[in-house]
Structure 1
């Protein structure tokens, strides 16, 4: 891009005014989290985690969020379409996916299940079947 040597004064004023108050630029993260602002929701993406690592992280998240008075947790699990469990005959395809194993893990851990009100698939705008909403009890 070639830089102009003599920028007209009106262009300079327009630019200064625009920089002070940019109307058509927005923060995508703030915009996408507007629906979360009404309650305290913790969001975490578990893509790339193994089952064992994901379970450890979920336990850590639930205990921490319960302590910090969050009301909900949104866990992004993905839909498992890139999982390579089909190649291992000793692994159950449906049970190896995080979206199935996480609720099972939580219900098997008393210190976690006592903190949970419900676990359900997220609404479509929050990830649908590739995400879980966990509602926490008020402690």
Structure 2
């Protein structure tokens, strides 16, 4: 089915093709400015204990900060298979690493000095079972 082209669209097209103004190559611009500058690292804590995850994340943040990593994707899992029912001091509704790792980071001023923000990850990066850490730029 063919649609009728409006007079406005015809006029806009004529203005576009008769224009002497050069168009910039957006692909070149994106590859030079955005892609090269964005460094993303991922760490997966599936199978880690709480103590081990907290020890590893602190060191990982420091290393990434010094390497000018922009974003860290931290995969904790949703905690659905955690054996929390056996421990009366932990709620079975609370996923251990999912909540405690961000809380551990927020409780450490030396780590928070390197961090812009912490937020839940998008679905393609793990959704509720992951979170992002956006780092500040490292200045020597």
User: TM-score, normalised to structure 2's length?
Assistant: 0.69
Aligned position for 2:115: 116
Pairing 1:60-139 to 2, within 5 Å after superposition: 60-93=59-92, 97-139=96-138
2:41–2:69 Cα contact (<8 Å) kept: yes
Equivalent residues in 2 for 1:12-51, closer than 5 Å: 38=35, 39-51=38-50
Displacement of 1:93 after TM fit?
Answer: 3.9
Gaps of 5+ in 1: 1-36
| Cα distance in 2, alignment partners of residues 94 and 64 from structure 1 | 33
> Could you tell me how far apart the structure 1 residues matched to 2:106 and 2:116 are?
11
Query: Using the alignment, how far apart are the partners of 1:137 and 1:95 within structure 2?
Result: 30
TM-score, reference length from structure 1: 0.69
The count of aligned residue pairs is 103
Deviations 1:45-66 (A, max 9, x none): 1001111000001001100000
What do you get for the CA RMSD once the two structures are aligned? 1.5
In structure 2, the gaps of 5 or more residues are 1-33
Secondary structure of residue in 1 paired with 2:85 = helix
